[in-house]
Amino acid sequence: MPRPRRPHRKDVRLERKTAEDTRQQAKTGASSRSAATLWAYTYQIMPRQTRIQMRAVKALLDLEHADAKNASATFGGRLIVGTQGTRILIVSDCPGRSCAANQRLESELKQLQAEFTVSEPVLLADDAATPSPAATSI
């Protein structure tokens, strides 16, 4: 009976890398798609709203985050209640207000009869494109 062939060294490395990638994705919950471009923007709500008044908005933000995660998309919202006013910080892979999550959020804010403004989306730096301090030559 012939002896089984040993796999080529390159094949072994590829299998190890694939296994490492799979383990890393399982730990972080990342999908195999490339990193999405992320945008950040804020809703400024005037006059200041209390956390109790914003309960429905907070629940909606949590629901939108869960829906986006299930769809392998990115949407996260933080409710910030301060002395100057109430803000909602959004981080999303959708840069505009045309996303369904934003439309539902704005509908909820209108139901509260809250006036709001929305900042222009700001592109967040991609970690892969940003050089680390150690990689920067002086």
Q: For position 6, what pLDDT does the model report?
A: 60
Q: Has residue 103 been placed in a domain?
A: yes
**Is residue 104 included in any domain, yes or no?**
yes
Is position 44 within any domain?
yes
- The structural domain count of the chain equals 1
- Alpha-carbon distance of 19 to 32, in angstroms, equals 13
In this model, does residue 103 exceed pLDDT 60?
yes
How confident is residue 106, by pLDDT bands cut at 50, 70 and 90?
very high
Cis peptide before 7 (omega within 30 of 0): no
Give the pair of three-digit tokens for residue 75: 């949407």
Which residues touch 79 (CB under 8 Å, ≥6 apart)?
A: 51, 54, 57, 58, 61, 86, 87, 88
pLDDT at 23: 54
Kindly report the pTM of this predicted structure: 0.64
